[in-house]
Amino acid sequence: MFKLWVKKYDDDNRIISHKTFEFSQDFDIRFLRAYTEVVCNDLKIETPILLKSHYVTFNNFNRIRFSQSDFVDEIDFRFLSIELLP
């Protein structure tokens, strides 16, 4: 079982919304895309493009950050952060 903490930030780097998602299985980095899709679908936002660098960052720091360049369409926040909670 694991939890992901998802935060949306504004232009002043302040959290404008956040939510915790709980998953019943053990965390597996191979399914990071699927976890991101679940989170984004729940928040009703577009799923960002995941690059190899996102996987490496998440593997090293248990967190990733998506900015406008990671989304195809315009977003109404500065960036999205997804963090694995202990």
Per-residue pLDDT of 6-58, as tens digits, reads 999 999 999 999 999 999 999 999 999 999 999 999 999 999 999 999 999 99
**Bridge partners of residue 7, in order along the sequence:** 18, 81
Q: Which residues contact 53 (CB under 8 A, 6 or more apart)?
A: none
| Cβ-contact 82, 47 below 8 angstroms | no
The boundaries of the domain holding residue 72 are: 2-85
| pTM, to two decimals | 0.91
What total number of domains does the chain contain?
Answer: 1
